[in-house]
Amino acid sequence: MRPTLLLAALITPMAVWAATPVLAQDLKVTVAGRDSVVLTPADLKALPRAKATFTAHGKSITYEGAALNAALKQAGVVSGDRLMGRYLNQVVVAKGADGFSASYSLGETDPIYRANPVVIADSKDGQPLDAREGPYRLVVDGDLRPGRSVRQLVSVEVKPVP
């Protein structure tokens, strides 16, 4: 087989895989000192929705999905006017299937402290996330770069700062 044909034979399935929407899965939310909560795709769809927009390579990209704050409330995390004092000494750690994790202060996930939402995105520009990004991607609206945007999100943990 010619090298060009071999290369094409290897690349084509990868391109199809990357463009294929991934099936939704459950998302585990763990809060220190409490039982874990498992949110199903239906649970996440029922939560209040939010949007986050990035500009990458000169192109605007809009992600949409459940507001992280709403998912945390489902797990019993204090929010709104009650989010003060000792509760602000907590971090949210988001983990992806590839092992990448990013942390956020609990305050920056709540609309009482931050106007821009943190989104558990399930779509990008109106289309379901592909296998490279999804089924969920945690996106922080207002971030200038997507460096702490966790792809293939599998769990979210809330815990006190050590």
CATH of 3-160, one of 3.30.420.10, 3.90.420.10, 3.30.70.3450, 1.10.645.10: 3.90.420.10
pLDDT by residue (tens digit) across 28-62? 999 998 889 999 999 999 999 999 998 888 889 99
Find the mean pLDDT for residues 67-77: 95
pLDDT by residue (tens digit) across 95-144? 999 999 999 999 999 999 999 999 999 999 999 999 999 999 999 998 88
Write down the mean pLDDT value for the chain: 87
Higher pLDDT, 73 or 19: 73
Q: pTM score, two decimals? A: 0.85
Are 141 and 119 in contact, with CB atoms under 8 Å apart? yes
* Cα separations in angstroms, 113 against 21, 69, 70, 84, 118: 34, 11, 14, 10, 12
A 10 A CB-CB count for 124 gives 19
Asked whether the predicted pLDDT for residue 151 surpasses 50, the reply is yes
As to burial, measured by CB atoms within 10 angstroms (0-12 exposed, 13-18 middle, 19+ buried), residue 148 is middle
- Comparing 10-24, 103-117, 142-156, the range with the smallest average pLDDT is 10-24
